[in-house]
Chains A and B, each alone.
Chain A
Amino acid sequence: MEMTYEFSKEDLAEIEKIKAKYPDKKSPVMPVLWLAQEKFGHVEPEVQQLVARTLDLPAAHVYGVVSFYTQYYGKKMGKYVLDVCTTTSCQLCGGYEILHYIEDKLGIKAGETTKDGLFSIQSVECLGACGYAPMMQITNGVYCNHLTKEKVDTIIDGLRAGRMPEFESIPMPQHLDESTNKIG
Chain B
Amino acid sequence: MPEIFIDNIRYEFEGKPLVLQFMLDNGLDHPFFCYHPSLSIPANCRQCYVEAGTPVWNRETNDYELNESGDRVIRFFPKLMTACSLEATDGMVIKTHRTSELVKRAHKDTLEFILVNHPLDCPICDQAGECPLQIQTYKYGPEGSRFEHKKVHKPKRIKLGPRVILDAERCINCTRCVRFTEEISKTHQLTIISRGDKNYPAVAPGTEFDDPYSLNTVDICPVGALTSADFRFKARVWEMNQTPGIDVTNGTGCNIDVWTRDNLVLRITPRYNAAVNDHWMPDFGREDIRRMNENRISKPELSLDGDRIKSSWNNAEITLWEKLKEFSPSEMLFAGSAFSSVEDNFVLKKHAKRIGAEKVYFTPFIKQGSGDGFLIDEDQYPNTQGCRLLGLKELSPADFKAKVSDSAVKLLVMLEDDLIGRGVLNTADLEGKFVVYMGSNHNATSAAATLVVPIANSVEQSCSFVNVKGRIQRTTAAKETIYTNRKLNLEMSVGRLDRYGTKFDNWVTDRNRIDCIPAWEYLERVAAQDDANFGYVSTRAIMAEIASTNARFTGVDYDRLDEEPGIPLISAEEVKTA
Contact = CB atoms under 8 A, between A and B. Distances in A.
A-B complex is real:
yes
Interface of A: 45, 48-49, 52, 58-64, 67-68, 125
Nearest to B207: A59
B189 interface: yes
Contacts of A62: 204
Nearest to B206: A45
Contacts of A48: 204-205
B494 interface: no
Contact of B188 (A49, A58, A67): A58
A63 B206 CA distance: 11
B191 A64 contact: yes
A42 B228 CA distance: 35
SS class, residues of chain A in contact with chain B: helix
Interface in B400-416: none
A118 B48 CA distance: 50
Contacts of B194: 67-68
Contacts of A58: 188-189, 191, 204
A50 to B, nearest CB: 12
A61 B189 CA distance: 8
Interface in B145-194: 188-194
B202 A61 contact: no
A68 B198 CA distance: 10
Contact of A60 (B188, B195, B196): B188
B114 interface: no
A68 B193 contact: yes
A48 to B, nearest CB: 7
B318 interface: no
Contacts of A45: 204-206
A64 B203 CA distance: 9
A60 B189 contact: yes
Interface in B203-217: 203-207
B204 A63 contact: yes
A125 B191 contact: no
Report which residue of B195, B196, B203 has the largest number of chain A beta carbons within 10 angstroms of its beta carbon.
Answer: B195
Report which residue of A52, A60, A62 has the largest number of chain B beta carbons within 10 angstroms of its beta carbon.
Answer: A60
Report which residue of A49, A61, A63, A64 has the largest number of chain B beta carbons within 10 angstroms of its beta carbon.
Answer: A64
A16 B194 CA distance: 28
Contacts of A52: 204
A181 B196 CA distance: 40
Contacts of A59: 204, 207
B407 to A, nearest CB: 59
A61 B205 contact: no
Contacts of A63: 191, 193, 202, 204-205
A49 B205 CA distance: 9
Report which residue of B188, B205, B207 has the largest number of chain A beta carbons within 10 angstroms of its beta carbon.
Answer: B205
A59 B206 CA distance: 10
Interface in B424-453: none
A45 B206 CA distance: 8
A67 B195 CA distance: 8
B456 to A, nearest CB: 44
Contacts of B202: 60, 63
A9 to B, nearest CB: 27
A63 B205 CA distance: 8
A26 to B, nearest CB: 11
A158 to B, nearest CB: 32
- 5 closest A-B pairs (Cβ-Cβ)? A58-B188, A64-B191, A59-B204, A45-B205, A67-B193
Contact of A125 (B189, B192, B196, B207): B196
Nearest to A125: B196
A61 to B, nearest CB: 6
Contacts of B189: 58, 60
A96 to B, nearest CB: 15
Given A49-B204, A60-B191, A64-B193, 17 more contacts: A52-B204, A58-B189, A58-B191, A58-B204, A59-B207, A60-B188, A60-B189, A60-B203, A60-B204, A60-B207, A61-B188, A62-B204, A63-B204, A63-B205, A67-B195, A68-B195, A125-B196
A107 to B, nearest CB: 25
Nearest to B194: A67
